[in-house]
Chains A and B, each alone.
Chain A
């Protein structure tokens, strides 16, 4: 059941990969704008590069998350899905995992942009990937749930970020801190605590949103 839902989601995303490209350009443009906001201060740019990366990812996520429900909203496909003997939980996790993958790809793609614009290189690529995976998981779980809600409303573009942004503050803080430690060094060994916080956030929200999703899309 989950496998089928996941397959469908990945197929939909593969078909819409042109859009992902456009969102990547959006994210890269955002990173560029951030550097203009700070100015040619290479020290400051490097210090805040983690923050910029995650802000760029967060802004991009509002686009990809909303888009992920586009197919369901056409021709009232959501109701059709509910008629199938598929549990809402499988539908949720299928979509959440697909959104997670999409955001991870986006995050990884933005890393070279960050390296170039902010001189924020690092050799600890595995650690960076781990932070990206955990952070985007934190965005994807509640993001998918709220995208399902707001997709059905007129003010969807404003409501999704309005609902999501306050909620993911802990994930954002942790991701930014962890990324900064990977890039600028971690003399006091604080990286592990932020990673643990991310893991806790992810565990809580991946389970909670899975439980609540059924009520959100019921008719």
Chain B
């Protein structure tokens, strides 16, 4: 059985157990009531999104230094999975914000940073779409990913500052031990799911690269035309 499928399966299993626990077994939170149960999917998604971003950053640097196309395939996977997670994160955040703060979006620095990075990743994926030469595509994606990754802490910091005069709310920072188990289960569940997704997506990217690199490069045809 393919390793990627194994990870996905394991992830799903853990998520089912963890979510059941978080939904029906774990106690209600003191102030936020049952709505707080959203945390059991929101926090694991957030943690794993960060991992996906770091992974993409690593692949980008690895490609620029090693020039090995396998890093580009991994980068493509990391970017796409990261984008999916970022989108999910923004939606979950909005769903949590509405009953607790009364608005869908409250410019929370973490969520806002995620939204900005979501757009940045969409831009890089769009860029990849428009570049035909696989090597150029790889170099440019890596450069753009590095630039966007370096930006992440700067965006977070600046939004936090920008928002600090208006926001008095605080999100629960400390999680009491009664909530640990479902959180941990789901965190690993999403992690395995993500690893599986990245493995499978890398394979798709690598297969496409194989096809592209096997075709005769267009340039030779062009030059022949010019000479003739």
Contacts and interface: CB of A to CB of B under 8 A. Distances in A.
Do A and B share a complex?
Answer: yes
Interface of A: 142, 145-146, 149-150, 153-155, 158-159, 162-163, 165-167, 169-170, 173-174, 177, 193-194, 197, 200-201, 204-205, 208-209, 212, 215-216, 218
A193 to B, nearest CB: 7
A169 B155 contact: yes
Contact of B154 (A163, A165, A201, A212): A201
Given A170-B158, A193-B161, A216-B143, A149 B127 contact: yes
Nearest to B143: A212
A159 B125 CA distance: 11
14 contacts: A145-B147, A149-B143, A149-B144, A163-B127, A166-B117, A166-B119, A167-B148, A170-B159, A173-B162, A177-B162, A197-B158, A209-B147, A212-B147, A216-B140
B83 to A, nearest CB: 12
A159 B146 CA distance: 17
A163 B161 contact: no
Contact of A162 (B126, B131, B151): B126
Contacts of B155: 169-170
B123 interface: yes
Contact of A197 (B140, B142, B144, B161): B161
Interface string B16-42: 000000000000000000000000000
Contacts of A204: 150, 154
B124 interface: yes
Residue from the set B122, B124, B151 with the largest chain A CB neighbour count within 10 Å: B151
Nearest to B115: A166
Q: How large is the interface on B (under 10, 10 to 19, 20 to 34, 35 or more residues)?
A: 20 to 34
B101 interface: no
Contact of B64 (A158, A162, A215): A215
Interface string B132-171: 0000000110111011101100110111011000000000
B126 A159 contact: yes
B128 to A, nearest CB: 11
A169 B139 CA distance: 24
Q: For the complex of A and B, list the 6 residue pairs with the smallest distance between their C-beta atoms, beginning with the closest.
A: A170-B158, A166-B120, A166-B119, A162-B123, A163-B123, A170-B154
B26 to A, nearest CB: 36
B117 to A, nearest CB: 7
B202 to A, nearest CB: 22
B91 interface: no
Residue from the set A162, A165, A174 with the largest chain B CB neighbour count within 10 Å: A162
B20 to A, nearest CB: 37
B130 A159 contact: yes
B119 A165 contact: yes
A186 to B, nearest CB: 13
B160 to A, nearest CB: 11
Contacts of B162: 173, 177
Given A167-B120, A170-B158, A174-B158, A208 B130 contact: no
Contacts of A155: 126, 130
A163 B64 CA distance: 20
A169 B116 contact: yes
A142 B140 contact: no
B70 to A, nearest CB: 18
B116 A166 contact: yes
